[in-house]
Amino acid sequence: MSRKYFGTDGIRGEIGKSPMTPDFALKLGWAAGKVLTKKGHPLVVIGKDTRISGYMLETALQAGLVAAGVDVRLLGPMPTPAVSYLTRTFRASAGIVISASHNPYQDNGVKFFSSEGTKLADEIEEEIENYLDREIETVSSARLGKVIRIDDAGGRYIEFCKRAVPADISFSSLRIILDCANGATYQVSPHVLTELGAEIITIADEPNGLNINHHCGATSLATLTKKVKKYEADIGIALDGDGDRLMMVDHKGETVDGDEAIAIIAHYKHQEGTLGKDVVGTLMSNLGLQQSIEKLGLNFHRADVGDRYVMELLRKYDGILGGEGSGHVIIRDKIPTGDGTIAALQVLNAMISSGKSLHELKQVMKKYPQTLKNVRISKTIDFKNNAEIQDAVKRAEAQLGDRGRVLLRASGTEPLIRVMVEGDKPDETEQLAEDIALVVENISKGVSD
C-alpha cells in the first residue's frame, strides 16, 4: 500500500493546509484509536513541543482518540525522546508527539511511538491510513476514553536522564552554554545539567509559541558560538525544537556535529567495554567517522538517511550506537530513539572521565570536506544503471582512491538528484562534484556525449 500521509517521520506540514488541519487531526486520532482498540482498551500518551498550534492539534487528537474509546494522558510540552520513555513507563499502547522538529513555527506534525518507545511499524501506519478514509463512528458513552493531564512528566524524564550518567560522575568543573531552541526541552534539560553539578547559562529558553528554532537551536549555531566565547565556556550544547537532535560547540568556537559526537561516544564506550562490535551511520555519514570506527577494529554500517533506518540496522546487528551527522544520535542501551540530551550527557561523561576538552576528544575523527550538488531533473533518471553517469562516478572514485567517496541519491520529495563528493581536498571535491552534476544535467536534458 502506498502511504498518502505518513512520511519517514510521521505526518508533517504547514498549519491550516492539508493535512495539518484540526479536522484531519480529529480523524487521525480516531483512526489511530480504531487500530489500537483492536487489542483491548488502550492508553495513549501525548506530548508536544512549544508551537502555538500544538494546543489546537492536541485538543483535536484527544477528541478523536476518546471517540474511539482510548484513554489519554497529556504530558504537555515534552521532548520527543521523553514521550518515547514515558510511553514505556506508563505501559501505554502508543505515544504521540505533536512536533515538526527543527522546522519553523508555521509547520507542525504528528508522529507515533509504539508501546516499546520505537517508531511505529509501517504496517500499523498503513492500517491507520486505511481508517482515515472512513466516517468517524463514536463508541457508546460508557466506552468513551478518559483524559488525564500528568503533572510530573518532566520530573520523571529528568530523573531518567540523570541515570544515564554514572552516580560517581559530577559535571561541577564544567561551564556549559545550553541552547534549548525555544522548544520542548526548555523545562527539563537545564535541570538535568544543573542537578548533575554543571554551571550552565541557558539561552533560547523562553518560548512564546512563535520563536521555536528561530535563529537558535541545533540548526542555527551563531548565537551559541558567540556565547561560548563570551563566557569562556567549556562547551556549547544546542538541541532542536523537539529535543531529539544535538549539535555542539567546543571552547574554541568550532562546531562538533552528529558524526563527531558519535565518534567521541564510540571511542569512550569502546574503552569502557560497553560498545559492542557494530556502529551505524547513514549514506551521508562522513568518511572520517567510518575510518575512526574501523580503526577501533569495529564494523561500520551505513543505513538509508533517516533515524528509523538507523534503528533498523542497530536492531539487525544488535548495536547500541548510531545516528546522523545532522545530530540525531541513538544510544540504544539508554533509549530506543534519538535523544539530544542523553547524547550530550555521554559526551560530557567522556570529557570528565578522560580529563580532555571537547576539542581534544573530537580529534579521534578526521572530518572530510563534503561537496553537495543538487541537480534538478526534468525526467526520471535511473542513475544507477546509466552508463555515462556511472562512468563519471568511476572516474571520480579512481581519482580519489581511499581519500574520499562519491554518493548519488534521488530526493524523495523533489525532482532532484543529489551528488555528494567527499575528499581531503575541498577544491578537488568541488570540481569532481561539478563534473558529475553536469553529466546528470545533460542526461536529463537529453544531451549525450
CATH, range 156-367:
3.40.120.10
Task: Give the Å distances, CA to CA, from 320 to 303, 332, 396.
Answer: 14, 4, 34
Q: Given the residues 101, 115, 189, 220, select the one marked as catalytic.
A: 101
CB-based contact 64:26 (threshold 8 Å): yes
Q: Which whole number is the average pLDDT over 322-336? A: 96
Our answer to whether residue 172 is catalytic in this structure is: no
The superfamily (CATH) of domain 370-445 is Alpha-D-phosphohexomutase, C-terminal domain (3.30.310.50)
pLDDT digits (tens, 9 = 90+) for 74-121: 999 999 999 999 999 999 999 999 999 999 999 999 999 999 999 988
The Cα–Cα gap between 354 and 292 comes to 18
The torsion of the CA quartet 378, 379, 385, 391, rounded to 10 degrees, works out to -20
Q: How many residues does the chain have?
A: 449
Q: Which whole number is the average pLDDT over 315-342? A: 96
Looking at the DSSP bridge assignments, the partners of residue 119 are 113
Q: Where in the chain is the domain with CATH 3.40.120.10?
A: 11-151, 156-367
Report pLDDT for 23: 97
Residue corresponding to grid cell 507515533: 112
CB-based contact 165:56 (threshold 8 Å): no
CATH, range 11-151:
3.40.120.10
Other beta carbons less than 10 A from residue 375's beta carbon: 22
Q: Which whole number is the average pLDDT over 217-234? A: 98
Q: Which whole number is the average pLDDT over 138-150? A: 98
Query: Is residue 379 classed as helix, strand or coil in its secondary structure?
Result: coil
State the pLDDT confidence band at 8, using cuts at 50, 70 and 90: confident
- φ, ψ for residue 45 (rounded to 5)? -100, 145
Pairing of strands 299-303, 278-282: parallel
Closest C-alpha among 131, 138, 148, 91 to residue 115: 91
Pairing of strands 94-98, 71-77: unpaired
Cell numbers linked to 132: 482515515
Order of strands across the sheet with 278-282?
A: 299-303, 278-282, 321-323, 329-331
The Cα–Cα gap between 37 and 193 comes to 40
pLDDT at 166 over 50: yes
